[in-house]
Amino acid sequence: MTSLSTNPYKGTRDYYPREKRIQNYIFNIWARTVKQFGYEEYGAPMLEPLEVYTAKSGDELAGEQTYRFTDRGERQVAIRPEMTPSISRMVAAKRQELAYPARLFSIANFMRYERPQRGREREFWQMNVDMFGAAGVQADAEIITLGFETMKAFGATPNMYSIKVNSRTLIDAMMQDYLGLDPIQAPLMVKLFDRKNKISNEDFRDQAIEIFGVDNAKEGLGKIAKLLIAKEISSLPSELSEHETVAELSSLFEVLQQRGVTNVQFDITLMRGFDYYTGTVFEFFDSHPDNNRAMFGGGRYDGLVGLFGAEPISAVGMAPGLSPIELFLESHNLLPEFASTTELYMATLDESLIPQAYDLASQLRSEKVNVELDFTGRKLDKQIKTAVKKQIPYVVFIGENEVKSQKFNVKNTKTGEEEAVVFERLVTLVKDKRHNYSVDDNDLFE
């Protein structure tokens, strides 16, 4: 019989304890930071009706990247490829009951059928943070600031990344009024601009000519050239500088500066691919030469709730992804050194002492110390090797003398140092030396 493969499904990851510690660390930082801003956690189903995504997410996501199937009730369903339509559906369902602004977040996994590559898997985890019922610059600034603060909580400094900002309202004006594109040409040019930094200048030019048509290409390319040299909002061509969105973007930048967000910059090529964006859009970019890429983004999507039959409501959000953040932290050496979530390994010198060892382990657990009891009867050196291999910080030895005297030899597996301590000292020793995030920080989620 052919053996089954030990590999996970293509584009997915197995999370062994070491990888899970990193994942939990990132999740805990995310949750703690957004809760400080008043965001409440929610959950949503893994499956949604396919139409939830075909309505506004875009043809590429809904048609090509979604895991879709017909269920036993002959319904067309999809494994969620993103969260924004789901939370918009939930808000529409409780439109009259929610208190606004509604600040909501979730940390969940998603599936997209796309080519796996570094930092991008078919199954991926991300945090979704959204604010409903607040229009204008202050709401947009809070979401961007929230992204800034989560990065700061990881130890990132502003010079390690940049925050690029644009507006879909300005993009529409640029495509229709400034470049004079029709409803067929405009979406094609938006997608081309979105790929600007991923293709050569020659390819960009040739594809732009094809969209404009030969007769209009010379004038159109000249206008695009003026757009591309505009690195500041104030440098936009005069035909766009008076647009009302320019004033809004300028105000947004002022608010962000006031809040200490110093690495924000205007980027006319930033499009964001989803069709539901209606206003400000932004992306966080890693500046490290080994990982120069977009990490996460978001924007305003005021029309999505209205698709579910409810009165439209303003909305803005962002979605940091686990793998891009992990790569960022690795590239900038910001990941802390993690210990096991087990803090104490109890090695028994004699199998007859297991009942007494278990009683001691129970007392330690009641003091919120995580204890693993070795009841295998193996030689002591093998028990110690197990503790070291599992990266458990301390080993405590249980022998007849320890049981009688209630004084226990404890070994630091990293330094090799040993000392004899009473129960109370054993508890404080572990707690005083407890590694940051070496145990589950459940208080962050309460």
- Whether 194 and 299 map to the same domain: the answer is yes
What is residue 337's predicted lDDT score, i.e. its pLDDT?
A: 86
pLDDT exceeds 70 at position 311: yes
DSSP 375-444: -S---HHHHHHHHHHTT-SEEEEE-HHHHHHTEEEEEETTT--EEEEEHHHHHHHHHHTPPTTSS--GGG
Q: What residues contact 108, with CB distance under 8 A and at least 6 apart?
A: 43, 44, 80, 83, 125, 126, 128
Of 159-163, 208-212, 337-341, minimum mean pLDDT range? 337-341
Q: What residues contact 374, with CB distance under 8 A and at least 6 apart?
A: 345, 346, 347, 348, 383, 386
CATH number of residue 390's parent domain: 3.40.50.800
- Whether 123 and 259 map to the same domain: the answer is yes
2 is a domain residue:
no
Handedness of CA 346, 352, 353, 355 (dihedral sign): positive
337 is a domain residue:
no
164 is a domain residue:
yes
User: In angstroms, rounded to a whole number, what is the distance separating the alpha carbons of residues 72 and 219?
Assistant: 56
- Whether 358 and 318 map to the same domain: the answer is no
DSSP 108-169: EEEE--S--BTTB-SEEEEEEEEEES--SHHHHHHHHHHHHHHHHHTT--GGGEEEEEEEHH
User: In angstroms, rounded to a whole number, what is the distance separating the alpha carbons of residues 61 and 57?
Assistant: 6
- Whether 327 and 351 map to the same domain: the answer is no
336 is a domain residue:
no
Output 198 or 139, whichever has higher pLDDT: 139
Domain end, chosen from 286, 305, 331, is at 331
222 is a domain residue:
yes
SS3 assignment, position 105? strand
pLDDT tens per residue across span 3-29:
899 999 999 999 999 999 999 999 999
- Whether 375 and 410 map to the same domain: the answer is yes
What is residue 439's predicted lDDT score, i.e. its pLDDT?
A: 42
pLDDT exceeds 50 at position 140: yes
Of 60-69, 177-186, 377-386, 406-415, minimum mean pLDDT range? 60-69
What is residue 68's predicted lDDT score, i.e. its pLDDT?
A: 92
CATH number of residue 98's parent domain: 3.30.930.10
Domain end, chosen from 310, 331, 352, is at 331
- Whether 202 and 325 map to the same domain: the answer is yes
Mean pLDDT calculated for residue range 83-104: 95
294 is a domain residue:
yes
Task: For 107, list phi and psi in degrees, rounded to 5.
Answer: -125, 115
What is residue 59's predicted lDDT score, i.e. its pLDDT?
A: 59
Asked if residues 201 and 221 have their Cβ atoms less than 8 Å apart, the reply is no
Residues paired with residue 78 on neighbouring β-strands, in sequence order:
48, 68
339 is a domain residue:
no
| Alpha-carbon Rg for the chain in angstroms | 27
What is residue 195's predicted lDDT score, i.e. its pLDDT?
A: 86
Please name which of 145, 97, 84 lies closest in space to residue 315, comparing C-alpha atoms: 84
Mean pLDDT calculated for residue range 218-232: 91
- Whether 292 and 363 map to the same domain: the answer is no
Q: The pTM is what?
A: 0.89
Structural domain count, the chain:
2
Reported as type and span, the H/E element at residue 84 is helix 84-93
- Whether 376 and 314 map to the same domain: the answer is no
Domain end, chosen from 331, 355, 374, is at 331
What is residue 271's predicted lDDT score, i.e. its pLDDT?
A: 85
- Whether 262 and 379 map to the same domain: the answer is no
244 is a domain residue:
yes
- Whether 140 and 162 map to the same domain: the answer is yes
- Whether 158 and 117 map to the same domain: the answer is yes
What is residue 61's predicted lDDT score, i.e. its pLDDT?
A: 66
Please name which of 345, 144, 104 lies closest in space to residue 249, comparing C-alpha atoms: 144
What is residue 441's predicted lDDT score, i.e. its pLDDT?
A: 47
- Whether 261 and 390 map to the same domain: the answer is no
Handedness of CA 84, 89, 93, 96 (dihedral sign): positive
Domain span at 142: 17-331
pLDDT tens per residue across span 254-304:
999 999 999 999 999 898 866 788 999 999 999 999 998 899 999 999 988
pLDDT exceeds 50 at position 443: no
Residues paired with residue 316 on neighbouring β-strands, in sequence order:
131, 300
What is residue 274's predicted lDDT score, i.e. its pLDDT?
A: 65
